[in-house]
Amino acid sequence: MFTIRPSYSANCSRRAFLRVGAAGLGAVGLTRLLRGGEPADKPWLRDKSVVWLWLGGGPPQAETWDPKPDAPESVRTMFGEIQTSLPGVAFGSHLPKLAERANRLAIIRSFQTPCKDHQDNWVRAMLTGSEAKMSPPSAGSVYAYLRGTNNPHTGVPSYIVLDSGNNQEFLQEHFLRGNTHGDLSVAYAPFNPAGVITRSPEPTGPRRKPDGDVTFSPLVQNMELRIPADRAANRRELLRGLDAATRRLESDPMCAAHDAYTEQAYKVLQGSVAEAFRLDREDPRTVERYDTSHITLTCPNFLKLPDFPRRPSLLGRQMLMARRLCEAGAGLVMVENCGWDFHGGDGLNPNVKDGLEGFGPQLDHAVSAFLDDVRDRGLKDRILLVVCGEMGRTPKINPKGGRDHWPSLAPLLLAGGGFKMGQVIGESDSQAGRPVTTPVTPADLISTVLRTLLDPTKLRLFPNIRPDLLRRVEGVPIPGLS
Protein backbone atom coordinates (compact mmCIF):
# COMPACT_ATOMS: atom_id res chain seq x y z
CA MET A 1 0.00 0.00 0.00
CA PHE A 2 1.12 3.51 -0.80
CA THR A 3 0.55 6.01 2.02
CA ILE A 4 1.44 9.66 2.37
CA ARG A 5 1.39 11.17 5.83
CA PRO A 6 1.14 14.97 5.77
CA SER A 7 3.46 16.40 8.41
CA TYR A 8 1.42 19.15 10.00
CA SER A 9 -0.18 19.76 13.36
CA ALA A 10 -2.27 22.39 15.08
CA ASN A 11 0.93 24.19 16.05
CA CYS A 12 2.25 24.43 12.48
CA SER A 13 2.27 27.69 10.61
CA ARG A 14 0.02 28.35 7.67
CA ARG A 15 2.94 27.45 5.40
CA ALA A 16 3.36 24.00 6.97
CA PHE A 17 4.53 21.78 4.18
CA LEU A 18 3.52 18.44 2.80
CA ARG A 19 6.32 15.97 3.31
CA VAL A 20 6.58 13.00 0.98
CA GLY A 21 9.24 11.19 2.96
CA ALA A 22 12.52 9.45 2.52
CA ALA A 23 11.51 7.28 -0.40
CA GLY A 24 12.31 9.84 -3.03
CA LEU A 25 9.23 11.88 -3.75
CA GLY A 26 11.50 13.17 -1.95
CA ALA A 27 13.30 13.65 1.32
CA VAL A 28 12.45 17.33 1.39
CA GLY A 29 9.03 18.88 1.79
CA LEU A 30 7.42 18.98 -1.61
CA THR A 31 5.88 22.40 -1.10
CA ARG A 32 9.24 23.68 0.17
CA LEU A 33 10.81 22.32 -2.97
CA LEU A 34 8.19 24.01 -5.14
CA ARG A 35 8.56 27.38 -3.42
CA GLY A 36 12.31 27.30 -3.77
CA GLY A 37 13.55 25.71 -0.55
CA GLU A 38 16.01 23.88 -2.79
CA PRO A 39 18.39 26.23 -4.62
CA ALA A 40 16.80 26.98 -7.97
CA ASP A 41 19.91 28.35 -9.64
CA LYS A 42 22.08 25.35 -10.46
CA PRO A 43 23.81 26.27 -13.69
CA TRP A 44 25.84 23.06 -13.68
CA LEU A 45 22.75 21.00 -14.56
CA ARG A 46 22.41 19.86 -18.15
CA ASP A 47 19.02 19.24 -19.72
CA LYS A 48 19.77 15.57 -20.27
CA SER A 49 18.91 12.19 -18.80
CA VAL A 50 20.58 8.78 -18.63
CA VAL A 51 18.89 5.37 -18.83
CA TRP A 52 21.24 2.66 -17.55
CA LEU A 53 20.16 -0.88 -18.40
CA TRP A 54 21.83 -3.25 -15.92
CA LEU A 55 22.35 -6.78 -17.29
CA GLY A 56 22.98 -8.35 -13.91
CA GLY A 57 25.00 -11.54 -13.90
CA GLY A 58 27.34 -10.67 -16.74
CA PRO A 59 26.44 -11.01 -20.43
CA PRO A 60 28.83 -13.01 -22.66
CA GLN A 61 31.13 -10.99 -24.91
CA ALA A 62 31.13 -13.33 -27.91
CA GLU A 63 27.34 -13.79 -27.99
CA THR A 64 26.53 -10.07 -27.83
CA TRP A 65 28.55 -7.34 -29.57
CA ASP A 66 31.94 -8.97 -30.15
CA PRO A 67 31.60 -12.38 -31.82
CA LYS A 68 34.78 -14.23 -32.72
CA PRO A 69 33.78 -16.62 -35.53
CA ASP A 70 37.39 -17.44 -36.37
CA ALA A 71 38.34 -18.44 -32.82
CA PRO A 72 38.57 -22.13 -31.82
CA GLU A 73 35.25 -23.93 -31.36
CA SER A 74 35.68 -23.94 -27.58
CA VAL A 75 35.86 -20.13 -27.63
CA ARG A 76 33.98 -18.63 -30.56
CA THR A 77 30.42 -17.41 -30.46
CA MET A 78 28.17 -20.43 -29.98
CA PHE A 79 25.39 -19.37 -32.37
CA GLY A 80 27.08 -17.56 -35.22
CA GLU A 81 27.19 -13.89 -36.08
CA ILE A 82 25.07 -11.39 -37.96
CA GLN A 83 26.38 -8.42 -39.95
CA THR A 84 25.35 -4.96 -38.81
CA SER A 85 24.67 -1.65 -40.52
CA LEU A 86 28.32 -0.75 -39.82
CA PRO A 87 30.66 -2.20 -42.48
CA GLY A 88 32.84 -4.96 -41.09
CA VAL A 89 31.09 -5.03 -37.70
CA ALA A 90 29.14 -8.11 -36.57
CA PHE A 91 26.95 -8.92 -33.55
CA GLY A 92 25.85 -12.21 -32.05
CA SER A 93 23.03 -13.84 -34.00
CA HIS A 94 20.46 -13.27 -31.21
CA LEU A 95 20.56 -9.49 -31.80
CA PRO A 96 19.32 -8.87 -35.38
CA LYS A 97 17.31 -5.72 -34.56
CA LEU A 98 20.23 -4.08 -32.79
CA ALA A 99 22.46 -5.10 -35.70
CA GLU A 100 20.21 -3.05 -38.01
CA ARG A 101 20.60 -0.06 -35.68
CA ALA A 102 24.35 -0.32 -35.10
CA ASN A 103 24.86 3.01 -36.87
CA ARG A 104 23.11 4.57 -33.86
CA LEU A 105 25.29 2.80 -31.29
CA ALA A 106 28.74 3.09 -29.77
CA ILE A 107 30.07 -0.41 -29.08
CA ILE A 108 32.88 -0.61 -26.54
CA ARG A 109 35.05 -3.70 -27.06
CA SER A 110 37.71 -2.89 -24.46
CA PHE A 111 35.58 -2.55 -21.30
CA GLN A 112 37.23 -4.12 -18.26
CA THR A 113 35.68 -4.35 -14.80
CA PRO A 114 37.10 -5.33 -11.41
CA CYS A 115 34.16 -7.61 -10.65
CA LYS A 116 34.97 -11.24 -9.95
CA ASP A 117 31.52 -12.05 -8.57
CA HIS A 118 28.04 -10.58 -8.10
CA GLN A 119 28.24 -9.54 -4.43
CA ASP A 120 27.22 -6.08 -3.23
CA ASN A 121 30.81 -4.80 -3.07
CA TRP A 122 31.39 -5.56 -6.75
CA VAL A 123 28.16 -3.85 -7.77
CA ARG A 124 29.26 -0.83 -5.73
CA ALA A 125 32.63 -0.85 -7.52
CA MET A 126 30.80 -0.68 -10.86
CA LEU A 127 28.28 2.00 -9.90
CA THR A 128 30.81 4.20 -8.09
CA GLY A 129 33.87 3.59 -10.26
CA SER A 130 35.87 2.82 -7.10
CA GLU A 131 37.01 -0.35 -5.34
CA ALA A 132 37.52 1.42 -2.02
CA LYS A 133 36.17 -0.49 0.97
CA MET A 134 34.53 2.68 2.27
CA SER A 135 32.67 3.11 -0.97
CA PRO A 136 31.74 6.58 -2.20
CA PRO A 137 28.18 7.28 -3.37
CA SER A 138 26.98 5.74 -6.61
CA ALA A 139 26.81 7.96 -9.68
CA GLY A 140 23.06 8.29 -9.25
CA SER A 141 23.34 9.43 -5.65
CA VAL A 142 26.03 11.97 -6.59
CA TYR A 143 23.68 13.33 -9.23
CA ALA A 144 20.70 13.46 -6.85
CA TYR A 145 22.84 15.34 -4.33
CA LEU A 146 24.04 17.92 -6.87
CA ARG A 147 20.67 18.32 -8.54
CA GLY A 148 18.29 17.81 -5.60
CA THR A 149 16.19 14.77 -4.88
CA ASN A 150 13.37 15.85 -7.16
CA ASN A 151 12.78 17.78 -10.33
CA PRO A 152 11.61 21.16 -8.94
CA HIS A 153 9.04 21.59 -11.71
CA THR A 154 7.43 18.16 -11.82
CA GLY A 155 8.32 16.55 -8.47
CA VAL A 156 9.62 13.43 -10.25
CA PRO A 157 12.56 11.87 -8.37
CA SER A 158 15.98 12.62 -9.80
CA TYR A 159 17.32 9.08 -9.39
CA ILE A 160 15.06 6.07 -9.99
CA VAL A 161 15.51 2.31 -10.14
CA LEU A 162 13.01 0.17 -12.06
CA ASP A 163 13.42 -3.40 -10.93
CA SER A 164 12.10 -6.46 -12.71
CA GLY A 165 9.87 -7.60 -9.85
CA ASN A 166 11.61 -10.98 -9.76
CA ASN A 167 11.56 -11.68 -6.04
CA GLN A 168 13.54 -14.92 -6.30
CA GLU A 169 16.59 -13.44 -7.98
CA PHE A 170 19.70 -13.17 -5.78
CA LEU A 171 21.40 -11.10 -8.50
CA GLN A 172 18.67 -8.49 -8.09
CA GLU A 173 19.27 -8.30 -4.35
CA HIS A 174 22.99 -7.76 -4.86
CA PHE A 175 22.24 -5.00 -7.35
CA LEU A 176 19.76 -3.23 -5.08
CA ARG A 177 21.99 -3.42 -2.03
CA GLY A 178 25.12 -2.46 -3.96
CA ASN A 179 23.46 0.65 -5.36
CA THR A 180 24.61 2.67 -2.36
CA HIS A 181 24.29 6.32 -1.36
CA GLY A 182 27.62 5.99 0.46
CA ASP A 183 28.23 8.73 3.01
CA LEU A 184 25.46 10.93 1.62
CA SER A 185 22.09 11.13 3.32
CA VAL A 186 19.68 8.29 2.65
CA ALA A 187 17.59 10.92 0.89
CA TYR A 188 19.87 10.50 -2.13
CA ALA A 189 19.36 6.75 -2.47
CA PRO A 190 17.37 5.75 -5.55
CA PHE A 191 13.58 5.71 -5.56
CA ASN A 192 12.24 2.30 -6.59
CA PRO A 193 8.52 2.40 -7.42
CA ALA A 194 8.25 -1.36 -7.98
CA GLY A 195 8.23 -2.22 -4.29
CA VAL A 196 11.78 -3.28 -3.42
CA ILE A 197 13.37 -0.26 -1.78
CA THR A 198 16.86 -0.61 -0.36
CA ARG A 199 17.94 2.28 1.83
CA SER A 200 21.20 0.94 3.14
CA PRO A 201 24.21 -1.02 1.94
CA GLU A 202 23.76 -3.34 4.93
CA PRO A 203 23.92 -6.99 3.79
CA THR A 204 20.45 -7.82 5.11
CA GLY A 205 18.68 -5.68 2.50
CA PRO A 206 14.93 -6.01 1.91
CA ARG A 207 13.32 -9.02 3.55
CA ARG A 208 10.93 -11.00 1.39
CA LYS A 209 7.81 -12.72 2.67
CA PRO A 210 6.54 -16.04 1.30
CA ASP A 211 3.80 -14.22 -0.64
CA GLY A 212 6.40 -12.21 -2.56
CA ASP A 213 5.82 -8.96 -0.66
CA VAL A 214 8.68 -7.22 1.11
CA THR A 215 9.34 -5.54 4.41
CA PHE A 216 10.90 -2.11 4.29
CA SER A 217 13.68 -0.20 5.90
CA PRO A 218 12.53 1.72 8.99
CA LEU A 219 13.91 4.83 7.31
CA VAL A 220 10.93 4.82 4.98
CA GLN A 221 8.56 6.50 7.44
CA ASN A 222 6.50 8.91 5.41
CA MET A 223 5.98 6.80 2.33
CA GLU A 224 5.32 3.08 2.20
CA LEU A 225 5.13 1.35 -1.13
CA ARG A 226 4.25 -2.33 -1.00
CA ILE A 227 3.52 -3.93 -4.32
CA PRO A 228 3.47 -7.71 -4.84
CA ALA A 229 5.70 -8.81 -7.69
CA ASP A 230 2.80 -9.87 -9.93
CA ARG A 231 1.52 -6.29 -9.90
CA ALA A 232 4.85 -4.52 -10.27
CA ALA A 233 4.77 -4.42 -14.06
CA ASN A 234 2.00 -1.88 -14.56
CA ARG A 235 2.25 0.02 -11.24
CA ARG A 236 -1.53 0.00 -10.78
CA GLU A 237 -1.11 -0.15 -7.02
CA LEU A 238 1.07 2.96 -7.10
CA LEU A 239 -1.49 4.86 -9.16
CA ARG A 240 -4.29 3.71 -6.89
CA GLY A 241 -2.33 4.94 -3.89
CA LEU A 242 -1.60 8.33 -5.46
CA ASP A 243 -5.28 8.81 -6.26
CA ALA A 244 -6.36 7.77 -2.76
CA ALA A 245 -3.77 9.99 -1.11
CA THR A 246 -4.88 12.99 -3.13
CA ARG A 247 -8.55 12.39 -2.25
CA ARG A 248 -7.71 12.18 1.46
CA LEU A 249 -5.70 15.38 1.34
CA GLU A 250 -8.41 17.24 -0.53
CA SER A 251 -11.08 16.16 1.98
CA ASP A 252 -9.06 16.97 5.10
CA PRO A 253 -10.37 20.25 6.63
CA MET A 254 -6.87 21.11 7.85
CA CYS A 255 -5.73 21.31 4.23
CA ALA A 256 -8.19 24.09 3.45
CA ALA A 257 -5.97 26.66 5.13
CA HIS A 258 -2.87 25.69 3.18
CA ASP A 259 -1.46 28.15 0.71
CA ALA A 260 -0.92 28.04 -3.03
CA TYR A 261 2.32 26.12 -2.68
CA THR A 262 0.54 23.26 -0.97
CA GLU A 263 -2.09 23.34 -3.68
CA GLN A 264 0.69 23.14 -6.23
CA ALA A 265 2.13 20.14 -4.38
CA TYR A 266 -1.19 18.33 -4.69
CA LYS A 267 -1.24 19.07 -8.39
CA VAL A 268 2.24 17.56 -8.71
CA LEU A 269 1.05 14.40 -6.98
CA GLN A 270 -2.00 14.26 -9.23
CA GLY A 271 -0.15 15.29 -12.37
CA SER A 272 3.48 14.78 -13.34
CA VAL A 273 4.42 12.05 -10.88
CA ALA A 274 1.33 9.94 -11.38
CA GLU A 275 1.21 10.53 -15.12
CA ALA A 276 4.74 9.26 -15.58
CA PHE A 277 3.63 5.84 -14.34
CA ARG A 278 0.50 5.62 -16.48
CA LEU A 279 1.35 3.32 -19.37
CA ASP A 280 -2.35 3.31 -20.19
CA ARG A 281 -1.92 6.91 -21.37
CA GLU A 282 0.50 5.78 -24.06
CA ASP A 283 -0.58 5.12 -27.62
CA PRO A 284 -1.41 1.37 -27.62
CA ARG A 285 0.79 1.01 -30.69
CA THR A 286 3.76 2.30 -28.67
CA VAL A 287 3.03 -0.10 -25.81
CA GLU A 288 2.78 -2.94 -28.29
CA ARG A 289 6.05 -1.90 -29.95
CA TYR A 290 7.87 -2.23 -26.60
CA ASP A 291 6.06 -5.33 -25.33
CA THR A 292 8.29 -8.30 -24.46
CA SER A 293 5.80 -10.31 -22.40
CA HIS A 294 5.64 -12.93 -25.17
CA ILE A 295 9.32 -13.71 -24.52
CA THR A 296 10.00 -16.04 -21.59
CA LEU A 297 13.22 -16.02 -19.61
CA THR A 298 15.02 -19.06 -18.24
CA CYS A 299 15.81 -18.20 -14.64
CA PRO A 300 18.07 -19.55 -11.88
CA ASN A 301 16.67 -22.56 -10.08
CA PHE A 302 17.59 -22.52 -6.41
CA LEU A 303 15.46 -25.58 -5.68
CA LYS A 304 17.46 -27.72 -8.16
CA LEU A 305 14.30 -29.03 -9.80
CA PRO A 306 14.56 -30.89 -13.12
CA ASP A 307 13.48 -27.85 -15.13
CA PHE A 308 14.50 -24.23 -14.76
CA PRO A 309 11.62 -21.85 -13.91
CA ARG A 310 10.51 -19.47 -16.64
CA ARG A 311 8.87 -16.07 -16.45
CA PRO A 312 7.68 -13.51 -19.00
CA SER A 313 10.01 -10.65 -19.78
CA LEU A 314 8.98 -7.25 -18.45
CA LEU A 315 11.94 -5.45 -19.99
CA GLY A 316 9.86 -3.74 -22.67
CA ARG A 317 7.59 -2.17 -20.07
CA GLN A 318 10.58 -1.15 -17.98
CA MET A 319 12.21 0.59 -20.93
CA LEU A 320 9.00 2.38 -21.88
CA MET A 321 8.59 3.50 -18.28
CA ALA A 322 12.19 4.75 -18.30
CA ARG A 323 11.51 6.89 -21.34
CA ARG A 324 8.35 8.31 -19.76
CA LEU A 325 10.20 9.12 -16.53
CA CYS A 326 12.98 10.91 -18.41
CA GLU A 327 10.40 13.00 -20.25
CA ALA A 328 8.77 13.81 -16.91
CA GLY A 329 12.01 15.13 -15.44
CA ALA A 330 13.99 12.19 -14.02
CA GLY A 331 17.75 12.46 -14.45
CA LEU A 332 19.10 8.92 -14.04
CA VAL A 333 16.86 5.87 -14.43
CA MET A 334 18.41 2.46 -13.82
CA VAL A 335 16.58 -0.51 -15.34
CA GLU A 336 17.41 -3.81 -13.65
CA ASN A 337 17.46 -6.91 -15.88
CA CYS A 338 19.19 -9.58 -13.82
CA GLY A 339 19.63 -13.22 -14.79
CA TRP A 340 22.60 -13.18 -17.19
CA ASP A 341 24.51 -15.77 -15.14
CA PHE A 342 24.97 -18.57 -17.64
CA HIS A 343 27.20 -21.12 -15.89
CA GLY A 344 25.02 -24.07 -16.84
CA GLY A 345 24.69 -27.66 -15.74
CA ASP A 346 24.80 -27.15 -11.97
CA GLY A 347 21.05 -27.16 -11.34
CA LEU A 348 21.24 -23.51 -10.34
CA ASN A 349 22.02 -21.52 -13.50
CA PRO A 350 21.12 -22.13 -17.14
CA ASN A 351 23.78 -22.65 -19.77
CA VAL A 352 24.39 -20.08 -22.50
CA LYS A 353 21.92 -21.69 -24.92
CA ASP A 354 19.01 -21.86 -22.46
CA GLY A 355 19.74 -18.45 -20.99
CA LEU A 356 20.33 -16.59 -24.20
CA GLU A 357 17.23 -17.86 -25.98
CA GLY A 358 15.13 -15.58 -23.80
CA PHE A 359 17.49 -12.89 -22.55
CA GLY A 360 18.90 -12.23 -26.02
CA PRO A 361 15.60 -11.60 -27.86
CA GLN A 362 14.10 -9.49 -25.05
CA LEU A 363 17.23 -7.30 -24.99
CA ASP A 364 17.18 -7.02 -28.78
CA HIS A 365 13.48 -6.14 -28.91
CA ALA A 366 13.22 -3.76 -25.93
CA VAL A 367 16.36 -1.75 -26.65
CA SER A 368 15.53 -1.45 -30.35
CA ALA A 369 12.05 -0.19 -29.49
CA PHE A 370 13.59 2.33 -27.10
CA LEU A 371 16.07 3.57 -29.72
CA ASP A 372 13.32 4.07 -32.29
CA ASP A 373 11.01 5.72 -29.79
CA VAL A 374 13.49 8.30 -28.49
CA ARG A 375 14.54 9.10 -32.05
CA ASP A 376 10.93 9.57 -33.17
CA ARG A 377 10.24 11.81 -30.17
CA GLY A 378 13.32 13.97 -30.80
CA LEU A 379 15.05 12.75 -27.63
CA LYS A 380 18.03 10.80 -28.98
CA ASP A 381 20.52 13.57 -28.09
CA ARG A 382 18.87 14.31 -24.76
CA ILE A 383 18.87 10.74 -23.40
CA LEU A 384 22.02 8.62 -23.08
CA LEU A 385 21.45 4.87 -22.97
CA VAL A 386 24.05 2.70 -21.19
CA VAL A 387 23.86 -1.10 -21.41
CA CYS A 388 26.20 -3.36 -19.41
CA GLY A 389 26.48 -5.72 -16.45
CA GLU A 390 29.00 -6.08 -13.66
CA MET A 391 31.33 -8.39 -15.64
CA GLY A 392 31.66 -10.49 -18.76
CA ARG A 393 31.98 -14.26 -19.13
CA THR A 394 34.90 -16.56 -19.85
CA PRO A 395 36.18 -16.80 -23.40
CA LYS A 396 36.28 -20.60 -23.10
CA ILE A 397 33.02 -22.53 -22.96
CA ASN A 398 32.93 -24.84 -19.95
CA PRO A 399 31.99 -28.56 -20.17
CA LYS A 400 28.41 -27.73 -19.11
CA GLY A 401 27.79 -25.47 -22.10
CA GLY A 402 28.15 -22.34 -20.00
CA ARG A 403 30.58 -19.50 -19.53
CA ASP A 404 31.84 -18.50 -16.09
CA HIS A 405 32.72 -15.19 -14.40
CA TRP A 406 35.23 -13.04 -16.26
CA PRO A 407 36.12 -9.46 -15.31
CA SER A 408 38.88 -8.95 -17.89
CA LEU A 409 36.46 -8.10 -20.71
CA ALA A 410 32.77 -7.21 -20.58
CA PRO A 411 30.19 -6.00 -23.11
CA LEU A 412 29.31 -2.29 -23.05
CA LEU A 413 27.00 -0.42 -25.39
CA LEU A 414 25.98 3.25 -25.45
CA ALA A 415 23.50 5.19 -27.55
CA GLY A 416 22.47 8.83 -27.88
CA GLY A 417 23.26 11.52 -25.36
CA GLY A 418 24.65 13.80 -28.06
CA PHE A 419 27.77 11.64 -28.41
CA LYS A 420 29.32 10.31 -31.59
CA MET A 421 27.51 7.12 -32.58
CA GLY A 422 28.02 4.53 -35.30
CA GLN A 423 31.43 3.43 -34.08
CA VAL A 424 33.37 0.72 -32.31
CA ILE A 425 35.68 1.92 -29.53
CA GLY A 426 38.57 -0.29 -28.47
CA GLU A 427 39.57 -3.76 -29.56
CA SER A 428 39.66 -7.16 -27.90
CA ASP A 429 42.05 -10.01 -28.52
CA SER A 430 41.28 -12.94 -30.83
CA GLN A 431 39.76 -14.93 -27.95
CA ALA A 432 37.38 -12.16 -26.75
CA GLY A 433 39.19 -12.39 -23.42
CA ARG A 434 41.13 -9.15 -22.90
CA PRO A 435 41.48 -5.67 -24.40
CA VAL A 436 44.41 -5.13 -26.75
CA THR A 437 43.82 -1.38 -26.63
CA THR A 438 43.73 0.82 -23.53
CA PRO A 439 40.97 -0.60 -21.31
CA VAL A 440 37.82 1.41 -20.66
CA THR A 441 37.09 1.22 -16.92
CA PRO A 442 34.03 1.70 -14.70
CA ALA A 443 35.55 5.03 -13.60
CA ASP A 444 35.53 6.14 -17.25
CA LEU A 445 31.91 5.07 -17.58
CA ILE A 446 30.84 6.83 -14.37
CA SER A 447 32.54 10.02 -15.55
CA THR A 448 30.72 9.75 -18.89
CA VAL A 449 27.39 9.39 -17.11
CA LEU A 450 27.99 12.28 -14.72
CA ARG A 451 29.33 14.58 -17.44
CA THR A 452 26.20 13.87 -19.47
CA LEU A 453 24.11 15.17 -16.58
CA LEU A 454 26.39 17.83 -15.06
CA ASP A 455 28.80 20.50 -16.31
CA PRO A 456 32.08 20.24 -14.31
CA THR A 457 33.30 23.63 -15.52
CA LYS A 458 30.34 25.38 -13.90
CA LEU A 459 30.52 23.20 -10.81
CA ARG A 460 34.06 24.47 -10.12
CA LEU A 461 32.76 28.02 -9.75
CA PHE A 462 30.80 27.14 -6.59
CA PRO A 463 33.02 26.82 -3.51
CA ASN A 464 30.53 24.82 -1.43
CA ILE A 465 30.57 21.79 -3.73
CA ARG A 466 32.24 18.86 -1.98
CA PRO A 467 35.69 18.38 -3.54
CA ASP A 468 35.40 14.59 -3.67
CA LEU A 469 32.12 14.80 -5.56
CA LEU A 470 33.53 17.42 -7.91
CA ARG A 471 36.43 15.08 -8.69
CA ARG A 472 33.93 12.37 -9.65
CA VAL A 473 32.34 14.68 -12.22
CA GLU A 474 35.74 15.87 -13.46
CA GLY A 475 36.94 12.37 -14.25
CA VAL A 476 37.99 11.23 -17.70
CA PRO A 477 35.08 10.14 -19.89
CA ILE A 478 35.31 7.27 -22.38
CA PRO A 479 37.82 8.32 -25.07
CA GLY A 480 36.44 8.66 -28.58
CA LEU A 481 32.80 9.35 -27.67
CA SER A 482 32.91 13.11 -28.17
pLDDT of residue 240: 59
Q: What ranges make up the beta strands (E) of 382-474?
A: 383-388, 392-393, 405-406, 412-416, 423-425
Q: What ranges make up the beta strands (E) of 195-354?
A: 207-208, 214-215, 223-224, 296-298, 310-312, 332-336
Q: Which helix (H) or strand (E) holds 103?
A: none
pLDDT of residue 13: 34
pLDDT tens digits, residue range 280-309? 889 999 999 999 999 999 988 877 888 888
Whole-angstrom Cα distance, residue 325 to residue 176?
Answer: 19
pLDDT of residue 279: 83
pLDDT of residue 439: 97
Prediction pTM value: 0.82
pLDDT of residue 177: 87
pLDDT of residue 173: 86
Residue 367's φ and ψ, nearest 5 degrees, are -70, -40
Whole-angstrom Cα distance, residue 174 to residue 119?
Answer: 6
pLDDT of residue 251: 59
**Is the backbone peptide bond immediately before 26 cis, with ω within 30 degrees of 0?**
yes
pLDDT of residue 321: 92
pLDDT of residue 223: 33
DSSP string of 360-382? HHHHHHHHHHHHHHHHHTT-TTT
- What domains sit in the chain, N to C, each tagged with a CATH number? 44-218+284-473 (3.40.720)
Positions of the chain with pLDDT under 70: 1-40, 133-134, 165-169, 194-274
